[in-house]
A and B are shown apart, each in its own frame.
Chain A
Amino acid sequence: MSEQEAGLVPGPDVKAQSVAVQSAIEQILEEMYFCEADYLGPALMDTACLGAVLAFSGDLSGEFKVAVSENLATRMATDFLALPYECLPEQIEAIVREFGNIACGASMSAWKPHASFHYSVPGPLSRRAAGVAFAHCFSVSGLGADLAVEISVE
């Protein structure tokens, strides 16, 4: 059995998923949240987070999860809404859900460009479910992982 077959080295589909998620998230952050991120790969989100989860079905079925540190979520909400006052907690949660919605569509289509999917309306991810290890982590602040994505295929 090769190292790849044993799961010790990422297979081509895992690498393709990483490339897809990385390019999708970087584009979203730049175009709609006006910030940049460094891709860290798999890491632990060990800070207080907000999260969103969507179900997808079609050529593949599964779940798409995002987690964003509370500090980054506040910054993203402020930049996204361009409000002259501090964002309300419900606005920050809505921004994270919308980020999950956009990240899911962009990542899945970049990963499987010829596939067809249907997506659920994004719902909140519990704080406990957000504070775990994720396959794709990013650092926007430069101080460790503060944004993460996980794709689970059934």
Chain B
Amino acid sequence: MTRFLLVDDSSVMRHFVARALRMTGLEISIDEAENGMIAIEKAYKIKPHIIITDLSMPEMSGQELVALVHAAPELRGTRVLVLSADRSDGRFDEMVRAGAVAYLTKPASPEKLKNSVMQMLTEGT
């Protein structure tokens, strides 16, 4: 069972990503959080294999979440995919330096999302 944690303040975006994950055909569990603060609490509890997070969120941003996950020894097995509409110059490098494994920009079709996740799972084994 592959555990996912979806982090986005937009519930409709979480729904869209969850739908793409179900297309993988894998046996999965999906938890959701609407900001980084809630996400880090859930991450300690469920130890997700993959966190898919937005960047711009209230309370705690995706960037702070990435750094916290990267720094937590208990979450060593958790890999983070950033999914954001922010394509600003240098943002990708910034997120990778913070500890993200992949950065996917919106718009991202369900197919593109599915392929990114499958690639992360393959590389993580």
Contacts and interface: CB of A to CB of B under 8 A. Distances in A.
Interface of A is mostly: helix
A105 B56 CA distance: 11
A32 B56 contact: no
A91 interface: yes
Interface of A: 27-28, 31-32, 58, 77, 80-82, 91, 94-95, 97-98, 101-102, 104-106, 108-109, 113-121
Given A32-B107, A32-B109, A102-B107, A119 B86 contact: yes
Q: Which of B106, B107, B109 has the most CB of A within 10 A?
A: B107
Given A94-B10, A121-B9, A121-B57, A106 B87 contact: yes
Contacts of A109: 87-88
B10 A117 contact: no
Contacts of A118: 56, 88
Contact of B85 (A77, A80, A106): A106
B16 A32 contact: yes
B97 interface: no
A116 B89 CA distance: 5
22 contacts: A27-B107, A28-B107, A31-B107, A31-B109, A32-B106, A58-B88, A80-B16, A81-B19, A82-B19, A94-B11, A95-B12, A101-B85, A101-B106, A102-B106, A105-B105, A106-B105, A106-B107, A108-B87, A114-B89, A115-B88, A121-B9, A121-B57
Interface in B72-91: 84-91
A58 B56 CA distance: 15
Q: Which of A58, A109, A114 has the most CB of B within 10 A?
A: A109
Contacts of B10: 94, 97-98, 101
Contacts of B13: 98
A106 B87 CA distance: 7
Interface string B45-64: 00000000000111000000
Given A98-B13, A105-B105, A121-B58, 6 more contacts: A94-B11, A95-B12, A98-B12, A105-B106, A109-B87, A113-B89
A94 B11 CA distance: 8
